[in-house]
Amino acid sequence: MNPGRRLVMAVISVVLLLAALHHCDGTLRFASYYGDHMVLQKSPQRAVLWGYGPEGEQVTVYLTGPVPQKVSSPPVTEGIWRVTLEPVDAGGPYNVQAESESSKCNLTDVLFGDIWLCGGQSNMYFKTSQIFNASEELALSSKYPHVRPFMASLNMSKTERIDLIQVEIPWSVPTTSVLAEFSAVCWLFGRYMYDTLKYPIGLVESCWGGTPVEAWSSSRALKQCGLQQSGDGSMMDNTVLWNAMIHPFLNMTIYGAIWYQGEANAEYHKDKYNCSFPAMINDWRMAFHQGSGQQTALDFPFGFVQLSTYKNNSIDDGFPDIRWHQTADVGFVPNSRMKNTFMAVALDLPDKTSPYGTIHPRDKQDVALRLTLGARAVAYGETDTPFQGPFPKQILPIQMSIIITYNQAVSVTSSKNMFEIFCSEKNVSCEPKSFWFPAAIVDWNQTSIQLSAAPCPVSKVAALRYAWRDWPCEFKACPVYDASGNLPAPPFITNRYTANQNIWKST
């Protein structure tokens, strides 16, 4: 983080923290990520509140507002108290008062809605003031007072922390100054979801640029993929960000998570990402479920952004492999290894002139919109909401052509070639990259595309891939989209001799 931004963030944090701290007296207090203006998880789940208090004293929590309630904790043990509220419908505002025998603490303007955790590396960290049309977006902040941001500070730990080391942005009613420093993808996703749901959304940002998935994973998850503990004192170390920036939130009841990460793994443990990413998701789900006393769903929805672009004219820099591995090598989600997940394809959103580097495209609106469609379909069960781009359901070699039949209607342009065939009778993984040849689009209809197999005899077409390069097309100009022209087809690679794809059909 540059010094100017750190100073701005520090001033915001101090002002907002001071505003919250004066509500407490004595030794009783809430954990770091509770505060005025916060959002707690609505019904049917139950919100968890916890904090610190005098040893042995009982803490009683009073919820005052539309539907009041009172709940008491067991005696404070090892300085920690905890209560689980009865389910509360979306809305508010509420006041929350915690009282022990010797002290009390108050929170004001608390809403109930859905909590979404936003994680990942620099493209999730990318702030709202940096996106296209930033001034217009920031000006909308006052129209969304019920979409509330919170941001954890960048910290590492060698051991699992029960609470955050530091808070960067406490819970806030959105303002231009707060949102300018907040994650653009996280904010836009929350704003778009509010437009659909019409009830409060809580956004918890916990991300760090340049970090690999291993840093955000528990040692338990890493062991599943044969990844051992590492340590050189940096944010690249295994588990250090899980320990400091995810583990503290486990007691919080959340609805779901969104994630934008993978660039750091394009070279670092790239071939393990098809294990480490699904393992991290499953481990987070288990840990949040247990930490919240089974209030966070064991299969809570998890959305992610498939990597965008970085280097133009580059084929093998790891990005195509990571995109594939992000889907557990299936090509789309949800799938059998990644249930209750959704994906925003972003390879058609490059930004050649981004002042923040091409690895940081400024169009985060389309990214968030595609995430929102996935959330509406997968997380909220809107069966009539399209959220996936077209994917092959059958590949049929005929004469000198290959016919790809998709699982939905497609819109096609032949102006850009992104299909390639592998001309060999052997397994694709055993052959050099020079065996790949362009396969031009020669015809198409509503659901199918015909490719030319020349100069390879169709009997020797061993594999087929699509968009298998870092920067496959220019802005929103890939050759295959859904019928609306809004959702790009994701990249794929399939081997004719590999049974697990099951989309080739012999002639």
Instruction: Quote the distance between the C-alpha of residue 293 and its chain's center.
Output: 23
41, part of any domain: yes
339, 357, 379 - which closes a domain: 379
Helix (H) / strand (E) containing 176: helix 176-180
Pairing of strands 201-207, 104-120: parallel
List the CATH number of the domain containing 229. Answer: 3.40.50.1110
Together in a domain, 322 and 401: no
Helix (H) / strand (E) containing 364: helix 364-374
111, 140, 175 - which closes a domain: 111
Identify the CA nearest to 395 among candidates 405, 385, 387.
405
349, 379, 409 - which closes a domain: 379
Q: In whole angstroms, what is the distance from residue 82 CA to residue 462 CA?
A: 59
Contact between 281 and 289 (Cβ < 8 Å): no
Together in a domain, 103 and 169: no
73, part of any domain: yes
Together in a domain, 465 and 345: no
Residue 125 contacts by C-beta under 8 Å, 6 or more apart in sequence? 183, 205, 207, 208, 209
Predicted local confidence at residue 314, as pLDDT = 66
Together in a domain, 353 and 252: yes
Identify the CA nearest to 349 among candidates 260, 478, 466, 493.
478
User: CB-hemisphere CA count at 13 Å for 235?
Assistant: 16
Together in a domain, 61 and 203: no
268, part of any domain: yes
61, part of any domain: yes
Together in a domain, 172 and 257: yes
DSSP string, 124-149: HH-BGGGSTTHHHHHHGGGG-TTEEE
Predicted local confidence at residue 506, as pLDDT = 44
Predicted local confidence at residue 436, as pLDDT = 87
Sign of the alpha-carbon dihedral angle for 285, 205, 95, 379: negative
Predicted local confidence at residue 342, as pLDDT = 98
The CA-based angle 164-167-172, given to 5 degrees, is 130
182, part of any domain: yes
- At residue 257, the 3 state secondary structure works out as strand
Domain count, the chain: 3
Together in a domain, 250 and 223: yes
Q: 63-94: b or e for each residue (b if 16 or more CB lie within 10 Å)?
A: bebeeeeeeebeebeeebbbbbbebbebbbeb
Domain that holds residue 87: 22-111
1, part of any domain: no
Helices assigned H by DSSP within 247-363: 273-291, 319-325
Q: In whole angstroms, what is the distance from residue 431 CA to residue 243 CA?
A: 42
**DSSP designation for 62:** E
Together in a domain, 247 and 189: yes
Q: In whole angstroms, what is the distance from residue 425 CA to residue 495 CA?
A: 11
Predicted local confidence at residue 234, as pLDDT = 79
Together in a domain, 118 and 103: no
Together in a domain, 291 and 195: yes
506, part of any domain: no
Predicted local confidence at residue 320, as pLDDT = 96
Q: Specify the residue for token string 């007296």.
A: 25
Pairing of strands 91-99, 104-120: antiparallel
List the CATH number of the domain containing 74. Answer: 2.60.40.10
pLDDT in tens, 329-338: 999 999 999 9
Question: Which residues in the chain come in under a pLDDT of 50?
Answer: 8, 11-22, 426-431, 499-501, 506-507
146, part of any domain: yes
pTM: 0.92
Together in a domain, 297 and 335: yes
Predicted local confidence at residue 96, as pLDDT = 98
- Tell me the β-bridge partners of 411: 481
Together in a domain, 417 and 329: no
